[in-house]
Amino acid sequence: MRSIIIALCLCLTFSAIAQTIQPFKQGDRVVFVGNSITDGGRYHAYIWLYYMTHYPTRRITCFNAGIGGDVIEQMADRFDYDVLSKKPTVLTLTWGMNDSGYFEWYRKDAQEFMDKRLVNTYETYTKLENRLKSMPKIRTILIGGSPYDETTKFSSKNYYPGKSAQLAKIVSHQEESAKNNHWGFVNFYRPMDAINKREQARDTAFSLTPNDRIHPDNNGHLVMAYFFLKAQGLANDVVADVSVNAADKKVEKAVNSTVSNIALTHNGISFTYLAKSLPYPLDTLPRGWGSRFPQSDALKVVPFMKEFNQELLTVKNLKDGRYDLVIDGERMKSFTAAQLSSGINMADIANAPQYQQAIQIRELNEERWDIERRIRMYVWVEYDFLKGKKLLHNDSNAALDSVKKYSAKDIFLNANKDVYTRARYVALRDAWQKEMDVLINKIYAINKPVVHKIELIPVID
């Protein structure tokens, strides 16, 4: 009964998500501001990949402006240098995971102590809120961040009783702020928390944040991208939806696509096909240090394929039997006449040429993400370490000596030390930016769908 109630609550949570933010438009510069979940995470790269493939002529630019460990005060502190310098037309802001505390929850007066801290946190946020209100040309979107998973049983480590409820308070505050300011709001917290609880009713060790209760894995980041795109009202915007009647060689439907040159051949059929979008190329590798789950594992918990990756092909009135689907002369899979009459999803066929085209875009985007991560590691050293040593933006030998000295006892600084030794040279950072520009230009040069010849050839036993 408990699992049925959780599943029902999750369905209601999903169905309650209506469009709350506008889709990105041509030329938008979208800056994602946040903490380590943004800094080292991929949800923004997955969102951009969706736009790269689904809207190939709608060029946008997305920027990672996250720093690991940041609270709202630190985000406000670096706002001009790290956010406004990117000249955003759209800005997303998520905070709260670090603001809701960690070891403080073991104090005897934990709740009182954290509530007093929260008052100061809200005061700091109000100052940043007022700055954003003074910049109406920047479209602001607040994101209620991913949850701290207090209920998973995968480990007893990193358990901070009370943190989850405190984070929920912050998310509610953000939602109210968005409402009062007529800003967009996307809630990752509630639906992801609902997914965790639903799945934990079946498997107590399940978590979308399986390493430390805090950081989503690749699958969790696609779940976040799913809810963001859903909030933009993009669900059920098909890659293509084609229906052909083999009996009279007519196109009954061609959504976001064109079909021509229909011909009957030896009881089969052929036609030319051009979609206006590419399928979303799901990654099946657990990318990144410490990751355990691939992006594609998100399909187990959210209907991403059904809502965001439908390249539908329906062919009616074929003779009974099995047919090879051949695209550009290469056999893909075989289907029965009944399956083809009901409709198949070509976005499920990874060896299809249009899917292979999309994979190239994904890999170029991953390469871009890797380079951007180096720049984020550099910014982390600047703001989380050198600023405290009064060496912000110094990048001198003295700054490097300080990084080397303290990295021996600071595991986070040590993890970023190697990148800093290179990134402190502005010429190298400029070169990295040029590399990213080349990759982005390449993506938008090769992401245009091309014409394919589709054949359905009877399988002869």
Examine residue 286 and state whether it is found in any structural domain, yes or no: no
Both 36 and 177 in a single domain?
yes
Examine residue 53 and state whether it is found in any structural domain, yes or no: yes
Examine residue 213 and state whether it is found in any structural domain, yes or no: yes
Examine residue 279 and state whether it is found in any structural domain, yes or no: no
The residue range of the domain holding 246 is 240-274+294-348+453-458
Examine residue 98 and state whether it is found in any structural domain, yes or no: yes
Both 363 and 426 in a single domain?
yes
Both 338 and 193 in a single domain?
no
CATH number assigned to the domain comprising residue 122: 3.40.50.1110
Both 189 and 42 in a single domain?
yes
- Over its length of 461 residues, how does the chain's per-residue pLDDT go in tens digits? 444 444 555 555 554 455 689 999 999 999 999 999 999 999 999 999 999 999 999 999 999 999 999 999 999 999 999 999 999 999 999 999 999 999 999 999 999 999 999 999 999 999 999 999 999 999 999 999 999 999 999 988 889 999 999 999 999 999 999 999 999 999 999 999 999 999 999 999 999 999 999 999 999 999 999 999 999 999 999 999 999 999 999 999 999 999 999 999 877 999 999 999 999 999 999 998 889 999 999 999 999 999 999 999 999 999 999 999 999 999 999 999 999 999 999 999 999 999 999 999 999 999 999 999 999 999 999 999 999 999 999 999 999 999 999 999 999 999 999 999 999 999 999 999 999 999 999 999 999 999 999 999 999 87
d(CA 123, CA 126): 5
Q: Please count the structural domains in the chain.
A: 3
Examine residue 249 and state whether it is found in any structural domain, yes or no: yes
Examine residue 344 and state whether it is found in any structural domain, yes or no: yes
For residue 156, the model assigns a pLDDT of 82
Both 270 and 131 in a single domain?
no
Both 68 and 210 in a single domain?
yes
Both 88 and 157 in a single domain?
yes
